[in-house]
Amino acid sequence: MSLRDQAAEVLLGNWRGHNTIPAPGLYPHQWSWDSAFIAVGLRHLSSLRAQQELESLFGAQWADGRVPHIVFDPEAPRQGYFPGPEFWRSEEVNGPQHPDTSGIVQPPVHALAAWEVHASDPETSRRRSFLERLYPKLVAWHDYLRGRRDLGGRGLVSIVHPWESGMDNSPSWDAPLQRVEPVPPTEFQRRDLDHADASERPTDADYGRYVRLAATYRDHGYADGLQVHEFAVEDPVTNSLLAASEAALVRIAQELGEPAHPHEAEVARIRDALPLLLEDGLFHSYDVHGGDLVRGGSVAGLVPLVVPGLPQAQDLIATATGPRFRAEELGVVPSWDLTDPLFDPSRYWRGPAWFNITWLLQRGLDDHGAPELAQVLRTGMLTAANRSGFREYIDPRTCEGKGAHHFSWTAAVVLDLLA
Ligand code: 9WN
């Protein structure tokens, strides 16, 4: 079977009627940023399903504009994932008619995906008023981030939980998490280890801290403020994807005959604020409580390449191809600095390469005058998928597959690259 057919089989197998699960077993519900990457791949199989993927996610948007990081599938086994609906208790905020969701968010890559989905089949999109219906929801989502999450007062969005970064156990969170008292492992039951090797997942201590932060947020009715959030970090991925998504809103607004100027202004504003996170050719996170950058070598620091017109792009390209990430040589980009003793090729976001991030980077490289390197990454991802299948992540040095099998966004990225 061709690689394309195999990728299609993964995505169609993970389809659940109006959304796609990230992977069978480990992730049996709908995840926010997964759905955006999935929609980008799914549009090559069915533009209708790709639209539904985003529509179902935004169907669970909260009244305050937040897009929850998980939308729970009532048909999936109750005990399939921890923390489940009975932990988050979203119905206490949203009422019983609203779908059960988590209360935290993930990076805002959705407007970018919505534009790509529309552009692949404008006729179906217009007939279904896809953008007309989604546009106000995307605006409300971005307004939530800007309005409620500028916890540092510096014009940048803070994440309030490592899960919000999408890069759950990145070493970037080690220092800010030190303030958080872990819930003892005897007080909750992890489900991820039923499906994945413990050596590739976050540790129990990490999990205990994740549970503490989420429980505190819940117990404050999901109100945002520095007094609630012990963990408040300005993250380069969230902020640069917000800028890239605002750039997509420019196009969406133009398509709809709405004023595009506010979105153009937003792109420029975020681009001007981002250097607060820059040091030595890489963007870093900023720990709001500590009042300092969290210096380290996360691939998150290269993701601002997705921001149109980023003045620091050439510095980032030099860092990406240098000894810390060796992108040109490896063809994929490790999630953590290869020269740092913390680099771990197997453990989740502490070293493995991920397809969604490498896909974002190849787009950014094309936009910033580095098409050859972009092509190296495209070839690298396809070679890796040919070798290891549609795994959740890979060892960046050997391309050995790790984590979940039949992973949807890996298949989606491959479909997009082959289109
Ligand atoms: C917690 C679904 C998600 C991805 C994240 C990835 C992982 C969840 C987990 O899986 O996080 O949200 O249980 O580990 O880190 O990026 O969205 O694929």
In tens digits, the chain (419 residues) has pLDDT values of 999 999 999 999 999 999 999 999 999 999 999 999 999 999 999 999 999 999 999 999 999 999 999 999 999 987 889 999 999 999 999 999 999 999 999 999 999 999 999 999 999 999 999 999 999 999 999 999 999 999 999 999 999 999 999 999 999 999 999 999 999 999 999 999 988 888 888 889 999 999 999 999 999 999 999 999 999 999 999 999 999 999 999 999 999 999 999 999 999 999 999 999 999 999 999 999 999 999 999 999 999 999 999 999 999 999 999 999 999 999 999 999 999 999 999 999 999 999 999 999 999 999 999 999 999 999 999 999 999 999 999 999 999 999 999 999 999 999 999 99
How high is the pLDDT of residue 275?
98
Given the residues 168, 235, 266, 344, the one annotated as active site = 168
List strand residue ranges (DSSP E) for 357-418, in order. Answer: 393-394, 401-402
| Residue whose CA lies nearest to ligand 1 atom number 6 | 166
Ligand 1 contact via 27 beta carbon (within 6 Å)? yes
Tell me the C-alpha distance between 28 and 262, whole Å.
38
Tell me the C-alpha distance between 114 and 128, whole Å.
13
Please report which helix (H) or strand (E) contains residue 92, including its range.
helix 91-94
What order do you get walking across the sheet with 285-287 strand by strand? Answer: 158-159, 233-234, 285-287, 292-294
ipTM of this complex > 0.95? yes
- Do residues 279 and 293 touch, judged by C-beta distance below 8 A? yes
Question: What totals of helices (H) and strands (E) does the chain contain, helices first?
Answer: 18, 10
CATH code of domain 3-418: 1.50.10.10
Closest atom, ligand 1, to C-alpha of 163: 12
| Residue whose CA lies nearest to ligand 1 atom number 12 | 163
